[in-house]
Amino acid sequence: MAYSSSYWDDLRTALACIPDAKKLHGTRILVTGATGMICSSIVDVLLFMNREHGANITVFAAGRSEQAAVERFARFSAGDSGIVFVPYDATSSEGVALDSDVDYIIHGASNANPALYMERPVDTMLANILGLSSMFDLARATSARKLLYISSSEVYGKSEGTHPYAENDFGYLDILNERAGYPSSKRAGESLCVAYGMQYGIDSVIVRPGHIYGPSIRSSDNRASAEFTRNAVAGNDVVLRSKGSQLRSYCYSLDCASAILTVLLQGERANAYNISNPHSICTISDIAEAIAHAGGVEARYDLSAESGLSAPSLMQNSSLASDKLEALGWKPAFDLERGVGRMMSVLKEPGGPFSV
């Protein structure tokens, strides 16, 4: 997979936002869900550190498909790049077989696609609980310094307020709702982080990403921002199937990656951190307009399809406060306009890195 000059520039910008990034030099880091939207961006940043700064980081990229990993990280896979593929199925309790110790574990393997976690709710819950448990067992066996669990903003549930959620704000979650398996198991995963710390003394931190967008979207992603992006890249109008009034925290994928690596290094044990860009809190219609503008197409509404949406999110407001994250020294580099513009630039550039 070719990497465009625009994306190299964005990697360089993201890396500069991680305080004390040099602490990662010479470490061994296991990343599960390595070909997913968020974790592939994390792997990109780590391998970029090797390429540009000789960081000597060994990245164990764990996932179900070695072919997917080879295709996703083709630019880095040749030569001594530091990437090692590790077979891993998050729905299995067997965990990962490694021949060496690891310093850090980033557990991002999870089914975050609403259509898929409606179709495979059992697998979704097992990945978020049993998959995490197997990572903690690995952390115990390898004496890992820290485990980072990628949770979700959906743990907050439904609230009547319009203010951004702080890390200790929780609303109502109907555990019998047909899509409750995802947020309920994410909540359970967070409690498991605390439990392993109490019982076994394992250092772990939690991140709660908001709505992530960027050039690492996958063709199977059916979330609104991904669909908007694919249409705009193809030169088609961006179509909203609802009024788009829901308030969301959007974050460019490489801002998300730099934030997660900041929490890995600086986050306090058994603490959760929102991943949110305070300059990108907007409605769904706002990001649709931004993507359409960057793609040179129109944004239009087809409200006749609204009633046919499959189990839409119950959260009218899922905006997140970023104060706790920023207190660690992290600052976002890509506000909504810049992030959307960079995403479209990367995807449209000849030889760009990702296929949508």
The amino acid that residue 330 corresponds to is W
- Domain 5-213+251-278+318-334: give its CATH code: 3.40.50.720
Residues 194 and 262: beta-carbon distance below 8 Å = no
The three state secondary structure string of 230-296 is HHHHCCCCEEECCCCCCEEEEEEHHHHHHHHHHHHHHCCCCCEEEECCCCCEEEHHHHHHHHHHHHC
What does each C-alpha distance from 315 to 157, 268, 275, 283 come to in angstroms?
7, 28, 17, 12
DSSP character at residue 168: T
Strand order in the sheet with 28-32: 83-87, 58-63, 28-32, 104-107, 146-150, 204-209, 272-275
CA–CA separation, 303 and 299 (whole Å): 13
Cβ contacts of residue 26 below 8 Å, gap of 6+? 55, 56, 57
Cβ contacts of residue 265 below 8 Å, gap of 6+? 18, 19, 20, 21, 23, 24
The tens-digit pLDDT sequence of the chain (356 residues) is 457 888 999 999 999 999 999 999 999 999 999 999 999 999 999 999 999 999 999 999 999 898 989 889 988 865 568 999 999 998 877 778 888 899 999 999 998 788 888 899 999 998 899 999 999 999 999 999 999 999 999 999 988 778 999 999 999 999 999 889 999 999 999 999 999 999 999 999 999 999 999 999 887 788 899 999 999 999 999 999 889 999 999 999 999 999 999 999 999 999 999 999 999 999 999 999 999 999 999 999 988 755 455 555 667 889 999 999 999 999 999 999 999 999 999 988 765 544 44
pLDDT of residue 162: 80
Encoded tokens for 71: 């295709």
114-125 core/surface letters (b: 16 or more CB in 10 A; e: else): bebbbebbebbb
146-150 and 204-209 beta bridge pairing: parallel
pLDDT of residue 355: 44
pLDDT of residue 354: 46
Residues 138 and 96: beta-carbon distance below 8 Å = yes
Main-chain phi, psi angles of 55, to 5 degrees: -70, -15
CA–CA separation, 140 and 200 (whole Å): 8
Residues in the chain, total? 356
CA–CA separation, 251 and 225 (whole Å): 11
* Interval 315-344: pLDDT, tens: 788 999 999 999 999 999 999 999 999 999
This model's pTM is above 0.85: yes
Angle subtended at Cα 330 by Cα 17 and Cα 28, rounded to the nearest 5 degrees = 70
DSSP character at residue 177: S
CA–CA separation, 267 and 255 (whole Å): 16
83-103 core/surface letters (b: 16 or more CB in 10 A; e: else): bbbbebbbbeeebbebeeebb
What does each C-alpha distance from 61 to 77, 78, 139, 189, 294 come to in angstroms?
11, 15, 16, 21, 33
pLDDT of residue 218: 82
